[in-house]
Structure 1
């Protein structure tokens, strides 16, 4: 049972990487048997992984058609998603500054201290983009974890899934700016400054929205 759980986790991470690196492109139909052969597993852990990815918003399942990779957001959908991030993640940072224990504050600070991978060009760039996506998501997740509200944390995770699919099309010239913004959020949380943490998170999200909207121009 333990081995099956580990295998399912491995397959889930492999499929997630394929999606985030756009080797499974938005709206691609997913062939379960072909993926099972590629990953050298039976179809069962692939189906289990796809069910998890569906709950995360990265794939969709339609009756009689099977699974497809979720489509890219439209500009309006993207703006709506960022509206929701502002509603959820500002309070998450505030509550993290108020409620997080020493270990949780240290986790936020440690995550904000690690430099993002350098952007690359061409096919290899997909890997650096996926790593950036994972690292950015981890930072926002540890902030949400420090807020002490599992439902809030889950809602933030689900919102990020759609952004992750889009990231390959975003400019990566400002990763240092993103890192500086993360560090301001982390410093306010570490210092127990709820107003500062919320303001820093909202400023980060507002700046990120503008950076990301370039992909639609």
Structure 2
């Protein structure tokens, strides 16, 4: 199958020209991706387990093609890995040390990105960051399975990525995005833990950015990430 450009929702056709993906096909591709992602996030596909393309095709009632496309996207997300001769497997859960190392990376990258965002963000970027927080506040408290907290998790990721993008440092923003930290963290613990404390901490970050207080913005992000790590280690991952 021709390669898919996720960011633009476009496909390379057979003669190399770029055209819009057929709407029905794109809807199917996105639906299969979300279905398999939910199975990984909810551990219906156990960490480390083999992910069979034919079995998923039968379960979801689709051809192998959208399953393969979905697995390629999930590999980019860090939720599955492809190994020679053995196909795809769900990634293992982070250990306690893995969680600590993930947050160590975030604490190196995100406070600096937040500091730069306070100095460099355009008015449009500020509006976007503020709107994401406002949208998170309208969601019901996230509980239960992935389907119930998917929107919360997606907005949480968008919030951090939007701040990184507003730093106007493309390499820094790309590094933050590639961590896919939210997907790995949300696989570990019950999502109620990510409710009100996260929203209040996000608000503190936004206020500092909107006021162009770079030092306070960086400190607010550091506090948020430090508290997030503490919540993870106290309630989630003890391995």
TM-score (norm 1): 0.87
User: Cα deviation per residue 1:66-99 (whole Å; 9 max; x = unaligned)?
Assistant: 1011100111111011000001111111111111
Instruction: Quote the offset at 1:200 in angstroms.
Output: 0.6
Instruction: Quote the offset at 1:126 in angstroms.
Output: 4.0
Greater Rg over alpha carbons, structure: 2
Give matches, 1:52-63, under 5 Å: 52-63=73-84
Which residue in the other structure is 1:155 paired with?
A: 175
User: Cα deviation per residue 1:135-178 (whole Å; 9 max; x = unaligned)?
Assistant: 221211111121223332232222234x5234244252461111
Give matches, 1:113-152, under 5 Å: 113=134, 114-115=136-137, 116-120=139-143, 124-152=144-172
Once the two structures are overlaid, the 10-residue window that deviates more, 14-23 or 175-184, is: 14-23
User: Cα deviation per residue 1:93-152 (whole Å; 9 max; x = unaligned)?
Assistant: 1111111111110111111123253143xxx44433444322221211111121223332
Report if the CA contact (8 A) 2:93-2:187 is conserved: no
Cα gap change, 1:43 to 1:31, in 2 (>3 Å): same
Give ranges in structure 2 of 5+ residues lacking alignment: 1-10, 12-20
1:191 aligns with 2:211: yes
Q: Secondary structure at the match of 1:154?
A: helix
Indicate the structure with greater helix content. 1
1:182 aligns with 2:205: no
Give ranges in structure 1 of 5+ residues lacking alignment: none
Q: How many Å separate the matches in 2 of 1:41 and 1:103?
A: 41
Q: How many Å separate the matches in 1 of 2:110 and 2:210?
A: 17
1:40 aligns with 2:61: yes
Aligned Cα root-mean-square deviation (Å): 2.2
Higher RCO (Cα < 8 Å, 6 or more apart): 1
Report if the CA contact (8 A) 2:133-2:199 is conserved: yes
Which residue in the other structure is 2:7 paired with?
A: none
Cα gap change, 1:174 to 1:56, in 2 (>3 Å): closer
Which residue in the other structure is 2:186 paired with?
A: 167
Q: Secondary structure at the match of 1:216?
A: coil
Aligned residue pairs, count = 213
Report if the CA contact (8 A) 2:188-2:237 is conserved: no
TM-score (norm 2): 0.79
